[in-house]
Amino acid sequence: MLHEKNIQDAFENAQNQIRHACNLYDECRIDVNKFELVSHPRRIIEVNIPVRMDNWLIRTFVGYRAQHNDARWPFKWWIRFHQDVTKEEVKALSLWMTFKCAVADLPLWWWKGGIIVDPKELSEWELERLSRWYVRELYKYIWPEQDVPAPDVNTNPKIMAWMMDEYSYLVWKYSPWSFTWKPVTAGWSLWRWNATAQWGLYVLQEILKVEWDTLKWKKIIIQWAWNAWLIMARLLVKEWSLIIWIADSKWAIYNKDWLDVKEIEKLKKDKLSVVYYEWAEQLADKALLEQECDILIPAALENQITKDNARDIKAKYILELANWPITTEADHILFEKGVIVIPDILANSWWVTVSYFEMVQNNMNYYWSEAEVNAKLYDKITKATLDVYWASKNHETFLRAWAYIIAMKRVFDAMKDRWEV
């Protein structure tokens, strides 16, 4: 979780990236009034949620909901339960996610929601009551044609099922389309978990293809052995890539030939650190970013590559699967070095895309096979990646700049067609 100071920095950083990108070229320049329209969320709702605890005492929790922009329809939003949730956090994430949807060209606009709570301190019954009361406080502002929530930090399909059930009860109608990322029995889209890694793989493959390159025998570093990125590692191995470094929250491990991803998956399934892997050397997590490799995949925290270590990066390609892992200053240094950075705004849009697919299927009450979902995912990512790549090539600048430019042009086109801006 980002601390409040880091969230504020991230909010300002996102604004600066947008402003910088859109002032690079005359055809993309935006005036002060237009930028002001997207600089802040349209509205923020704060609610006090009373919950009867297992000891029969009432405890009040604070929840937020920030709507960023409604020029396109409907809103798509994510709910997180965490003790460090702040108004600044939901504001920052709602802004950033609007442009991520625009890059993938999804007909969605964004808002964020959260409750200040440490869910580990609650029993399952308390967690369910909190989830249902959150819906009771906000259900008048949530409906399938306008606002469709999904899980984020410390929320999951079970919580979405509780919330969907509560919403259905309040509106007197079974409404599986009111929430996404639900259990399969409640209308979850197939291929959801695999889409986490598959999207990143497709983006990487498309960039390599237009660079006349392949994944075969590429040496790869993955920073963070989380479930989804272990799936990514498995998919990369199937493409004959070599995972030589991998890290978790404590340590990184290295083998100059290759690491056995299946063995590492077994360790993580048993909740053990990668340090228990026997056939590798160990070092501190941060040090792995500067090691020799072909492809570097930062998939952990923000601000991992800065102006202080950017010149020491030896990878030819960087695939950002974390949010904000590279600072603005580092972006320019890496571009000058010839490193191709595939930005987070493009590389990790998998979850909102398949969540959108779930919304479509729920509304049709007709569900696609895994193959159909995967094919539609591939079509979306191919177009989004090539749009960004060729625009950046034509204007000789880095991918992130044109990802933001394309997103901003789509945002303002929608606003122009509906409003007087």
Are 236 and 262 in contact by the 8 Å Cβ rule? The answer is: no
Q: Which two tokens stand for residue 120?
A: 């580990």
Cis peptide before 119 (omega within 30 of 0): no
Are 300 and 272 in contact by the 8 Å Cβ rule? The answer is: no
Helix (H) or strand (E) holding 81: strand 75-82
Q: Rg (Cα) of the chain, in Å, rounded? A: 21
For the chain, first and last CA: distance in Å? Answer: 36
Select which of 112, 182, 218, 219 is catalytic: 112
- CA pair distance 281, 284, nearest whole angstrom: 11
- CA pair distance 263, 199, nearest whole angstrom: 24
Pairing, β 251-254 against β 242-247: antiparallel
- CA pair distance 37, 40, nearest whole angstrom: 7
Is 5 an active-site residue? no
Which residue's entry shows tokens 């996404």? Answer: 180
- CA pair distance 398, 383, nearest whole angstrom: 18
- CA pair distance 165, 152, nearest whole angstrom: 18
Give the catalytic positions in this structure: 112
